Amino acid sequence: MTNPSLLILPGDGIGPEVMAEVRRIIGWYGEKRGMHFDVSEDLVGGAAYDAHGTPLTDATMEKAQNVDAVLLGAVGGPKYDVLDFSVKPERGLLRLRKEMDLFANLRPAQCFDALADFSSLKRDVVAGLDIMIVRELTSGIYFGEPRGIIQEGNERVGINTQRYTESEIERVARSAFELARRRGNKVCSMEKANVMESGVLWREVVTKIGETEYPDVELSHMYADAGAMQLCRWPKQFDVIVTDNLFGDLLSDAAAMLTGSLGMLPSASLGAPMANGRPKALYEPVHGSAPDIAGQAKANPIACILSFAMALRYSFDQGAEADRLEAAVETVLADGVRTADLMQNEGETPVSTSGMGDAVLAALD
């Protein structure tokens, strides 16, 4: 049997710094758990632009299409702000998402007990929170035609179009129901069927998929604005939330902040199953390249480490190993180990990026 393959794209800024810690964790799984990966590494974003004049070469794209999972750090930085839009670092990431057709973006909002006081909400509202937002990522208003700014009489009109086909709704709904079966067995679908036809279709299609293919999963519906309120009021009522690209963008950012620091948030973007049954997959922290702290060994590697835990769970069917890694992170936080972004009190001494990596490895041992 061949080892599962991983393509690592560290990217820019703190990307390579946090990814270095993930590489040590991957090494640990090989050495201590006999889980070996064929790891290759390549450039993306500004790093790729510097080397090749493009934020993602065709060769790297080809590799990404043929591995079991891609793990990405972050792209971008002030150095690249002057570049033409077509070669900006972000274009590399967008190309990966688009050509791999990663239509389901998974953003967990999970509250580690040790950080519950970090939230802007009360401790008992967030303690133990573990929800998953599934955002449709490749269609909807960010892509629909017609779009543009046109002249109409004596004024200009800005136009974007929300457009969803039944099959686009079906596939993201299936992703959400599949996830729910591995979690709390509940899906809440959010749209605005009260004012949008695309929402009416969304609700109809999700209901049909639920009734015909996942009758064992509890399905509810909520208007997205009401959903936003409920997320702030009592987020623990949810398990999996499935929603469109636009509402998902807002709701996942809002849900993320229920639990505190950007340095803690992982994500996965999944596409259709490949020949080996594994989904096309890209795992990355939610944060960017953090130019303000890059090169200072201050970055929190946990978001990237938890992204690898998601890879273990969703690409490699190693849920128990993912639990092990998440438990190690929980232990480290409970022990009071903090990178600078997690400091709450004056006088605490933060650990460095590799110091946090050391602590997670020690907890794994």
Under the binding rule (CB under 6 A), the answer on residue 292 touching ligand NAI is: yes
Based on the residue annotation, tell me whether 249 is a catalytic residue of this protein.
Answer: yes
223/283 with CB nearer ligand NAI: 283
x/- letters, 245..264, toward ligand NAI (CB under 6 A): -----------------xx-
Looking at 253, 317, 323, 335, which residue is catalytic? Answer: 253
Under the binding rule (CB under 6 A), the answer on residue 355 touching ligand NAI is: no
Based on the residue annotation, tell me whether 164 is a catalytic residue of this protein.
Answer: no
Longest dimension (CA), the chain: 70
Give backbone dihedrals phi and psi of 35, rounded to 5 degrees, phi first: -100, 105
CB of 105 to Mg ion, least distance (A): 10
CA distance 299 to 356: 9
- For the chain, the residue count is 365
171: helix, strand or coil: helix
Under the binding rule (CB under 6 A), the answer on residue 77 touching ligand NAI is: yes
Looking at 58, 225, 317, 323, which residue is catalytic? Answer: 225
CA distance 337 to 229: 33
CB contact at 8 A, 280 and 320: no
Size of interface with ligand NAI, in residues (CB under 6 A): 22
Based on the residue annotation, tell me whether 142 is a catalytic residue of this protein.
Answer: yes
Rounded (10°) CA dihedral 191, 194, 199, 201: 140
74/312 with CB nearer ligand NAI: 74
Under the binding rule (CB under 6 A), the answer on residue 191 touching ligand NAI is: no
CB of 249 to Mg ion, least distance (A): 5
Task: Determine how many CB atoms are found less than 10 A away from the CB of residue 23.
Answer: 18
CB of 48 to ligand NAI, least distance (A): 13
x/- letters, 271..290, toward ligand NAI (CB under 6 A): -------------x--xxxx
299: helix, strand or coil: coil
Burial class (CB in 10 A: 0-12, 13-18, 19+), 134: buried
CA distance 326 to 308: 10
Query: Residue 87 annotated as binding?
Result: yes
Helix (H) or strand (E) holding 28: helix 15-33
x/- letters, 92..131, toward ligand NAI (CB under 6 A): -x--------------------------------------
* 3: Cα within 13 Å, side-chain hemisphere: 13
249/284 with CB nearer Mg ion: 249
CB of 176 to ligand NAI, least distance (A): 22
- Residue of 103, 104, 77 whose CA lies nearest to 90: 77
Q: Which listed range, 71-79, 118-126, 234-242, 321-329, lies at the site for ligand NAI (CB under 6 A)?
A: 71-79
SS3 sequence of 207-269? HHHHHHHCCCCEEEEEEHHHHHHHHHHCHHHCCEEEECHHHHHHHHHHHHHHCCCHHHCEEEE
Looking at 249, 283, 314, 341, which residue is catalytic? Answer: 249
Based on the residue annotation, tell me whether 98 is a catalytic residue of this protein.
Answer: no
Pick out residues in 252-281 that bind Mg ion (CB under 5 A): 253
Candidates 17, 168, 249, 341: give the one binding Mg ion (CB under 5 A): 249
User: What tokens were used for 79?
Assistant: 């150095």
Based on the residue annotation, tell me whether 192 is a catalytic residue of this protein.
Answer: yes
Concatenating the DSSP letter of every residue in 31-82 gives HHH----EEEE---THHHHHHHSSSS-HHHHHHHHHSSEEEEEE---GGGTT
x/- letters, 190..219, toward Mg ion (CB under 5 A): ------------------------------
What b-and-e string marks burial along 240-261, b requiring 16 or more CB atoms within 10 Å of the CB?
bbbbbbbbbbebbebbbebbbb
CB of 134 to Mg ion, least distance (A): 15
Query: Residue 86 annotated as binding?
Result: yes
Pick out residues in 297-326 that bind ligand NAI (CB under 6 A): 299-300, 303
Query: Residue 249 annotated as binding?
Result: yes
Interface residues with ligand NAI (CB under 6 A) are: 14, 18, 74-77, 90, 93, 262-263, 284, 287-293, 299-300, 303, 341
Catalytic residues: 142, 192, 225, 249, 253
Annotated binding-site ranges for substrate: 97, 107, 135, 225
